[in-house]
Amino acid sequence: MKVLHIIDGIGPPGARGPELIYAHLKKLAERGIDVHILTLITDRYTCSSWFNWANEQKNKYNIKIYFLPNPFIKCQRRIYNIYVVISRIFYFFKALILQWKNHYDIINDFSSSSFMFYRTALLGLFCRAKLIHTLCTYNVGFFSSHRFLGGIKYLDRVLCLSKDIKNKIIRLSFSDNKVIYFPLGIDIKRFSQVNSSVNVRKKYALPTNKLIVLYLGPIESHKGIFVLAEASCKIPESTNLHFVFACARFWVSESERVKMIKDLKESMRRSKHTFKIITDLVNVPSLMDISDIFVLPQLTPHGTIAYPVTLLEAMASGKSIIASRTEGVNELIIHNRNGLMFTPGCSTELASHIQTLAENPKLRKEIGNRARTDIKNKYNLDSAISDLIEIYCE
């Protein structure tokens, strides 16, 4: 079976969502599926070693990777962003060329927008491949509105990475026979065989006598990072905490990046607790391993994969988790069972939960163990791959 997967940002150091999706495609190749990928190269999603990486995937897994280049990498940000938007149309023409050349059995188009249903459907006018669209990201913009759900009738299947997305589509499009809930999985072994956590602690000079509260994600207001900073100011100094903000990826200009870091530092200086801001790429399993509490404070689900990758990673690591009660997240976390949940934006509630876990090591361990069990039983990578192959064979 030969399948073309259309997806943004594959490659080192790809954005976290596409990075997780690629883990699934690699497993598909190992299971005998002939995997082809069409992706976009930009300086914000990839790096100079991209071509070496792509060749390595071909040699090691027999995965064939095709790409759309961005000719405006050095241009102003506005021109750059316009091209990234227009490139969604260019995907169609490139995919057609690849289809005529390789004769795919299935085309699986990953996107954040119901508008792209029509891009996938349009391919069906010119080729005989079965058409699957995977709606994988929460997007509250115009191009993800219900106006474009009519495109479902031209597709063979629509895969939704969250139950919430699936229910909304079914409610608005009446295509329940085509819409399938397909949760992504995670490679649990990566987070159960950690051996370099000591080096990470030493590299970033993290204290050994304080509890580590970890935030992993971009410095963006809608991710709730400043809510966490505000919450830290409301926790007594006697709780003895050290906050770690791992923020390696910035989808902004250099000047905006500098300003965001400055704002975060100023917010944390009002706190009675120590902190560290990490802006280089980190070993995520090791960073999870040395942390005691993981916090996901996002205000809205917009821009994240159906359920955030970092949440899956924290659960696989057996961490005690505090997360805001947002779409997608509330499908994974059950309050007082495998994590604690709080009202998005409520720093007082967040501070209370952090203090509760900090003062109760037994509760931290119980919550972390239940989180790991849940991820192992419901969201492991091998099970997800078996389900995806079943969908492809169907």
Output the pLDDT for position 250. Answer: 59
Nearest to 114, CA basis, from 82, 79, 77, 154: 154
Output the pLDDT for position 126. Answer: 86
Residue type, 252: V
Residues 230 and 88 in one domain: no
Cis peptide before 13 (omega within 30 of 0): yes
In this structure, are residues 113 and 144 in contact, taking their beta carbons and an 8 Å threshold? yes
In this structure, are residues 290 and 212 in contact, taking their beta carbons and an 8 Å threshold? yes
Q: Sheet of 34-41: strands edge to edge? A: 64-69, 34-41, 2-6, 106-111, 130-135, 157-160, 179-181
Please enumerate in sequence order all residues whose Cβ is within 8 A of that of 359, keeping only pairs 6 or more positions apart, or say none: 239
Alpha helices by DSSP H, the chain: 16-30, 50-61, 77-102, 117-123, 163-173, 189-192, 197-203, 225-232, 254-269, 284-290, 309-316, 329-332, 347-358, 361-378, 381-393
User: What is residue 184's three-state secondary structure?
Assistant: coil
pTM of this structure: 0.90
Output the pLDDT for position 72. Answer: 58
Which residue ranges in the chain fall short of pLDDT 70?
12-15, 42-48, 70-81, 84, 140-146, 249-254
Output the pLDDT for position 119. Answer: 87
Range of the domain at 7: 2-185+380-393
Long-range contacts of 82-85 (CB under 8 A, 24+ apart): 84/40, 84/42
In our burial notation (b when 16+ CB lie closer than 10 A, e otherwise), range 97-111 reads ebbeeeebebbbbbb
Residues 212 and 179 in one domain: no
Residues 15 and 139 in one domain: yes
Alpha helices by DSSP H, 38-193: 50-61, 77-102, 117-123, 163-173, 189-192
What CATH number is given to the structural domain containing 24? 3.40.50.2000
Residues 386 and 295 in one domain: no
**What are the beta bridge partners of residue 358?**
none
Residues 149 and 235 in one domain: no
Q: How far apart are CA 307 and CA 284, in angstroms?
A: 17
Residues 134 and 219 in one domain: no
DSSP state of 335: B
Residues 209 and 80 in one domain: no
Output the pLDDT for position 253. Answer: 66
Residues 261 and 359 in one domain: yes
**Could you give the number of structural domains in the chain?**
2
Residues 141 and 261 in one domain: no
Residues 206 and 120 in one domain: no
Residues 176 and 195 in one domain: no
Residues 312 and 386 in one domain: no
Q: How far apart are CA 166 and CA 168, in angstroms?
A: 5
Which tokens sit at 259? 């300003």
